């Protein structure tokens, strides 16, 4: 069975779930509406430019999880996924997933966005495997830290390699769908890299390397 990898944000969904979660917290008055929104935007700009300091960003983005009970966090997350994320699933996403599932491929989301946000989205899409940055939990509460590898840029490659060793499989026949130049390292590792509604830098890279470029939104 070949491995099919999907980036999540701006690939399977038509926006960034991490950034939108921050905006959701702002809109609900859960975080400071001015300071948090400004920092969230600045970090997102850094991500798009390929210069995000992932440790600083995770310190910022995971802190709200440490300030609230699991009960409230899960309640907010259900509302967020249902009302913000569900309408953003790209039109072509269900058919793409169905195509690879019908081939018997092993399906996986691999995302820099943390597992608190991405796990329910993977469940919604019916994708059974996920590699994402793992928020730390101690005594039933999030600590604001993360454990293991931050799955961003080269971190995606490292986390995937560790998973492949655990599963005793390799990347033979593998495919990876992504929109972002931040994923170039992993795109270069798989047999079939595919650019999905790519940013400008990935568009140029895909054209140079003759990688397929697809549109899942229209």
User: Mean pLDDT for each consecutive 10-residue tract of the chain (218 residues)?
Assistant: 96 97 96 91 89 92 96 98 98 98 98 97 98 97 97 97 96 98 97 98 98 97
Phi, psi of 143 (to 5 degrees): -95, -15
- b/e 27-41 (16+ beta carbons within 10 angstroms → b): eeebbeeeebbebbe
pTM, entire model: 0.95
Cβ proximity of 159 and 148 under 8 Å = yes
Residue 142 belongs to a domain with what CATH number? 3.40.50.1000
Nearest to 180 by CA among 4, 65, 11: 11
Catalytic residue among 9, 16, 18, 105: 9
pLDDT value, residue 168? 95
**Is 45 an annotated catalytic residue?**
no
pLDDT value, residue 99? 98
Catalytic residue among 7, 16, 105, 183: 7
pLDDT value, residue 106? 97
Range of the domain at 49: 3-214
Count the domains in the chain. 1
**Is 7 an annotated catalytic residue?**
yes
Helix runs in 103-147, H state only:
115-125
pLDDT value, residue 39? 92
């Amino acid at each position: 069975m070949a491995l099919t990898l999907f980036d999540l944000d701006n690939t399977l969904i038509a926006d960034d779930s991490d950034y939108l979660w921050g905006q959701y917290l702002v809109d609900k008055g859960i975080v400071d509406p001015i300071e948090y929104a400004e920092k969230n935007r600045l970090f997102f700009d850094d991500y798009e430019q390929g210069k995000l300091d992932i440790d600083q960003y995770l310190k910022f983005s995971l802190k709200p999880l440490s300030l609230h009970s699991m009960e409230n966090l899960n309640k907010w997350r259900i509302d967020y996924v249902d009302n913000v994320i569900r309408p953003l699933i790209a039109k072509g996403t269900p058919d793409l997933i169905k195509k690879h599932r019908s081939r018997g491929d092993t399906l996986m989301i691999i995302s820099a966005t943390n597992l608190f946000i991405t796990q329910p989205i993977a469940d919604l899409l019916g994708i059974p495997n996920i590699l994402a940055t793992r928020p730390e939990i101690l005594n039933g509460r999030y600590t604001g830290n993360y454990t293991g590898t931050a799955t961003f840029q080269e971190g995606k490659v490292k986390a995937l390699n560790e998973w492949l060793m655990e599963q005793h499989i390799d990347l033979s026949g593998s495919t990876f769908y992504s929109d972002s130049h931040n994923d170039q390292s992993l795109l270069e590792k798989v047999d079939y890299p595919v650019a999905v509604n790519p940013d400008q830098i990935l568009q140029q890279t895909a054209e140079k390397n003759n990688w397929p470029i697809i549109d899942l939104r229209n």
